């Protein structure tokens, strides 16, 4: 088990927002993640964990500084964990484009060079990070997960591939059908190779048909999002999920775009959704 190095700690809403770094066995690099511990956790009580996965170009700080989520985590008594979106460092492969390389890990385990050695974000998010969190912080094994855009893809995909591990999953403007959209096709070809049959293992719209654990799903999408509907096709996933027997709440929000203003506007309802699933 990796040792954690405390990078920073801030008191907010009676709890602690902390950033930690550690050497990751999944990525072979130093990784940084943030965790918000609500007042209840600081008082010695073990609390459930809500994982947040961010989108393209983001790190652990975007959501923590823009969404207003710590207030809600404090009120509901949940820990909030926010990892980075990719490995980083001078020796980590990168690309000049914003949608490939550092900041754009797509939460997959890459199999192709030069990405395969470090870009193993699926293993990091699904296995290594939860084990670290549960070993080092006062949390229970109750978990839920949500995310935005590329992180919405990650949250849905990780939840579907790990039945029974998460109480619920939600997403803001998620990439739900990456095998059929430009962002996903570019990233999957680079990270996973040209055999598109291998891509299906990370496509939520394809995974949902065979998923046997029907956890509740919430999706919010802004109709003024400039990536909707070419890159973002939530209705495709919603139809597939409902056909497979999932309960899905889908909201198309008039006038909202892809920004953190959109996330901040509806973050309350996502916390309430997860709190209900966690029995809080």
Domains, the chain, with CATH or none? 5-278 (3.40.50.1820)
Q: What is the pLDDT of residues 6-58, one digit of tens each?
A: 999 999 999 999 999 999 999 999 999 999 999 999 999 999 999 999 999 99
Residues forming a β-bridge with 35: 18, 81
Structure tokens at 26: 């999944």
Select which of 84, 99, 220, 225 is catalytic: 225
Mean pLDDT across the stretch 235-249? 97
169-172 vs 139-148, strand pairing mode? parallel
Residue 21 annotated to the active site? no
pLDDT confidence band for 147 (50 / 70 / 90): very high
Select which of 149, 170, 203, 270 is catalytic: 149
Select which of 17, 258, 270, 274 is catalytic: 258
Q: What is the pLDDT of residues 76-94, one digit of tens each?
A: 999 999 999 999 999 999 9
Whether pLDDT at 1 is above 90: no
Whether pLDDT at 2 is above 90: no
Can you give the pLDDT at residue 196?
Answer: 87
Mean pLDDT across the stretch 209-236? 96
Residue 269 annotated to the active site? no
Is 195 buried (19+), middle (13-18) or exposed (0-12) by CB count in 10 A?
Answer: exposed
Residue 258 annotated to the active site? yes
The single residue listed with the structure tokens 């550092």 is: 102
**93/172 Cα distance (integer angstroms):** 28
Task: Please state, for a pLDDT cut of 70, what percent of the chain lies above it.
Answer: 100
């Amino acid at each position: 088990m990796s040792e954690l190095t405390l990078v920073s700690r801030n008191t907010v809403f009676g709890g602690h927002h902390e950033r930690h770094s550690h050497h990751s066995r999944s990525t072979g690099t130093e990784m940084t993640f943030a965790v918000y511990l609500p007042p209840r956790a600081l008082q010695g009580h073990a609390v459930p964990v809500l994982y947040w996965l961010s989108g393209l170009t983001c790190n652990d700080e975007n959501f923590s500084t823009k969404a207003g989520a710590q207030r809600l985590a404090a009120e509901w008594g949940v820990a909030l964990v926010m990892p980075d979106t990719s490995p980083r460092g001078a020796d980590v492969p990168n690309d000049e484009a914003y949608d490939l390389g550092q900041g754009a890990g797509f939460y997959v385990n890459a199999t192709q060079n030069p990405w395969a050695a470090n870009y193993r974000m699926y293993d990091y998010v699904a296995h290594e990070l939860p084990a670290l969190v549960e070993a080092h912080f006062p949390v229970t094994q109750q978990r839920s997960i949500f995310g935005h855009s590329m992180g919405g893809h990650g949250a849905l995909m990780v939840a579907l591939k790990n039945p029974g591990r998460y109480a619920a999953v939600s997403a803001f403007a998620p990439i739900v059908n990456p095998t059929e959209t430009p962002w996903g096709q570019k990233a999957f070809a680079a990270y996973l190779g040209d055999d598109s049959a291998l891509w299906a293992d990370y496509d939520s719209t394809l995974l949902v048909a065979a998923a046997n654990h029907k956890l509740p799903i919430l999706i919010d999408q802004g109709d003024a999002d400039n990536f909707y509907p070419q890159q973002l096709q939530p209705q495709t996933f919603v139809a597939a999920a409902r056909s497979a027997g999932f309960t899905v709440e889908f909201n198309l929000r008039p006038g909202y775009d892809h920004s953190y203003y959109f996330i901040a506007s509806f973050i309350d309802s996502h916390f309430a959704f997860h709190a209900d699933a966690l029995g809080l």
